[in-house]
Amino acid sequence: MSGLTITEKILARAAGADVVRPGEIVMARVDLAMGNDVTAPVAIARFRELGVERVWDPSKVALVPSHFVPAKDIASARLGMTMREFAREQGIEHYFELGRGGIEHILLPEQALALPGMVIIGADSHSCTYGAVGAFSTGVGSTDLAAVLATGKIWLRVPDSVKFVYEGRPGPWVVGKDLILHVISQVGDDGCAYQAMEHTGPALRYLSMDSRFTLTNMAIEAGAKSGIIPPDEVTLAYVRSRQEATGRHLPFDVLASDPDAHYAAEHVIDVSALEPQVSLPSLPSLAQPVSTAERVRVDQVFIGSCTNAKLEDLRMAAHVLRGRRADPRVRLMVIPATQEIWLRANEEGLLQVFAEAGATVSTPTCGACLGGHMGVLGPGEVCVSTSNRNYVGRMGHPSARVYLVNPAVAAATAVLGRLAHPDELGVEPPVLEPAAVGASEGGAQGDGAGGADARTGGGGA
């Protein structure tokens, strides 16, 4: 019998079993359940229909208004009210009000609520993001969330795991976003359907937590059930720093895949050969190097979303935008992912850089990412975005076209008014500090100018 992957170990433990195998259906204990302002109100209605009075464990529920906040109209104000009232009635303390929260997938790890070894069920498809801390984490719909609220359990089919081994050292301007866009272009939009993507390999030591969150965030764009990075010293340093910062010291489990674990497939990616990527309309899998893509004119540049609006992302964009201005024909919008990131970016002067470049800088919200409000695209408009989906109609009118890129490419594009590689501006690439201690062996880069903008310090560490 082969060993177990980290995913199988987490699910076995949650199901009270010694061993689980791919394809088996388990009923698993949930450690953290999350709903947002789109999905939670429907879940709350289902929960009420069931006639159960109390949620199974209010301390394990997080409710995060993120999509249509600040309320864009009366209907969305009602969604907010439903959540708020439910949180009060049920004694759910992890309800994150405007100005104290942000986008759930960045917020919950920052709040030391999403931790290694947990089973996390989120009623939002990008709930796979939490896998970056070494949790099993997947997105579900509202009825599934309602069942979890009532019982604390969820049925899951144990997924096959697929292993991605990253080798080499990422070149200039290459971050987590470029790795995952490249991977999706290789496996396809449903290439990992129903599977767990496990990211491993020596190159990960160069990836900060902020970059790693991007890697797991887009598992769903490959059709995967989950993405996971087995915890290493980078993970643990981040988790401890967040526990210190928040004073929340929940227990967690550091698990690893067995050396003889079985994988449905294994892919090796040499990241030193990668360039910044762009996904063309209208599928994330249509990724290619920015250098070879057509230089389309753009109407809007969006630097935001759970994919790329963390501190490292904002530092990277500000590094390119400092002392420059967005092209007069471009609307540039920057939306930090959480209140804490907003505050840090403000302290570091990044928000000033954006505003001086002619950007609108807003309070944390999903905003333009899902075409709900705050930057909806009109017919035929072109947007370069740091978010995760460029589907038809995703950000507004069905004839609008969206290109997905990393924050440095988005910033350079805003300046030149067309899709652009940051090298075209003659900006020195940021000096990325190795994320892991000892990762600098064999080729540390000097401490060049602009390094302060680009340090990858493990999120809000």
Partner 1 sequence: MSVLEGTAHVYGPNVDTDVIIPARYLTSTEAEELAQHCMEGIDPEFVSRVRPGDLIVAGRNFGSGSSREHAALAIKGSGVACVVAESFARIFFRNAINVGLPIVECPGVTEGAQTGDRFRVDLGAGSVENVTKGRTFRATPLPPFVQEILDAGGLMPWVARQLAREREVRVGVAPEEPAQADWRLD
Binding site for ligand SF4 (CB under 6 A): 66-67, 103, 105, 124, 126, 305-306, 366, 369-370, 387-388
Residue with smaller CB distance to ligand SF4, 124 or 198:
124
Distance, in Å, from the CA atom of 453 to the CA atom of 461, rounded to the nearest integer, reads 15
Asked if residue 14 lies in contact with residue 26, where contact means CB atoms within 8 angstroms, the answer is yes
**Residue from 65, 117, 231, 372 in contact with partner 1 (CB under 8 A):** 372
What is the size of the binding site for partner 1 (CB under 8 A)? 64
Asked if residue 272 lies in contact with residue 174, where contact means CB atoms within 8 angstroms, the answer is no
Residue with smaller CB distance to ligand SF4, 163 or 177:
177
Distance, in Å, from the CA atom of 317 to the CA atom of 303, rounded to the nearest integer, reads 8
**Using the rule CB under 8 A, is 121 a contact of partner 1?**
no
Question: In Å, what is the CA distance from 89 to each residue of 93, 113, 126, 299, 358?
Answer: 11, 21, 27, 45, 44
Least distance (Å) between residue 126 CB and ligand SF4: 5
**Using the rule CB under 8 A, is 59 a contact of partner 1?**
no
Asked if residue 122 lies in contact with residue 104, where contact means CB atoms within 8 angstroms, the answer is yes
Asked if residue 301 lies in contact with residue 331, where contact means CB atoms within 8 angstroms, the answer is yes
Residue with smaller CB distance to partner 1, 75 or 441:
75
Distance, in Å, from the CA atom of 336 to the CA atom of 339, rounded to the nearest integer, reads 7
Least distance (Å) between residue 322 CB and partner 1: 33
**Using the rule CB under 8 A, is 14 a contact of partner 1?**
yes
Binds 305: which of partner 1, ligand SF4, none (CB < 5-8 Å by kind)? ligand SF4
**Using the rule CB under 8 A, is 98 a contact of partner 1?**
no
Burial class (CB in 10 A: 0-12, 13-18, 19+), 245: middle
Distance, in Å, from the CA atom of 203 to the CA atom of 216, rounded to the nearest integer, reads 15
User: Is residue 25 helix, strand or coil?
Assistant: strand
The piece of 12-20, 174-182, 312-320, 420-428 that touches partner 1 (CB under 8 A) is 12-20
Asked if residue 233 lies in contact with residue 436, where contact means CB atoms within 8 angstroms, the answer is yes
Distance, in Å, from the CA atom of 221 to the CA atom of 125, rounded to the nearest integer, reads 9
**Using the rule CB under 8 A, is 146 a contact of partner 1?**
yes
What residues does 61 pair with on adjacent strands? 33
Residue with smaller CB distance to ligand SF4, 103 or 184:
103
Least distance (Å) between residue 36 CB and ligand SF4: 7
Residue with smaller CB distance to ligand SF4, 161 or 388:
388
Q: How many CB atoms lie within 10 A of CB 81?
A: 12
- Amino acid residing at 100: R
Least distance (Å) between residue 196 CB and partner 1: 12
**Residue from 57, 151, 428, 455 in contact with partner 1 (CB under 8 A):** 151
Torsion angles phi and psi, residue 400, rounded to 5: -70, 150
Residue with smaller CB distance to ligand SF4, 208 or 386:
386
Site string for partner 1, 388-417 (x = CB under 8 A): -x-xxxx---x-------------------
Query: In which residue are the tokens 């063309």 written?
Result: 280
- Amino acid residing at 216: T
Binds 49: which of ligand SF4, partner 1, none (CB < 5-8 Å by kind)? partner 1
393 half-sphere exposure, CB direction, 13 A CA radius: 1
The piece of 26-34, 83-91, 103-111, 167-175 that touches partner 1 (CB under 8 A) is 26-34
Least distance (Å) between residue 402 CB and ligand SF4: 12
State which H helix or E strand residue 311 sits in.
helix 311-321
Binds 33: which of ligand SF4, partner 1, none (CB < 5-8 Å by kind)? none
Greatest alpha-carbon pair distance for the chain in Å reads 63
Residues 6+ apart with CB under 8 A from 212: 132, 176, 199, 204, 229, 234, 235
Binders of partner 1 among residues 244 to 283 (CB under 8 A) are 283
Binds 447: which of partner 1, ligand SF4, none (CB < 5-8 Å by kind)? none
Residue with smaller CB distance to ligand SF4, 293 or 374:
374
Residue with smaller CB distance to partner 1, 377 or 411:
377
Distance, in Å, from the CA atom of 126 to the CA atom of 227, rounded to the nearest integer, reads 10
Residue with smaller CB distance to partner 1, 400 or 431:
400
365 half-sphere exposure, CB direction, 13 A CA radius: 22
Residues that bind partner 1 (CB under 8 A): 14-18, 20, 24-29, 38-39, 41-42, 45-46, 49-52, 67-68, 73, 75-76, 78-79, 123-125, 127, 139-144, 146-147, 150-151, 153, 155, 157, 189-190, 193-194, 220, 223, 225, 283, 370-372, 376, 389, 391-394, 398
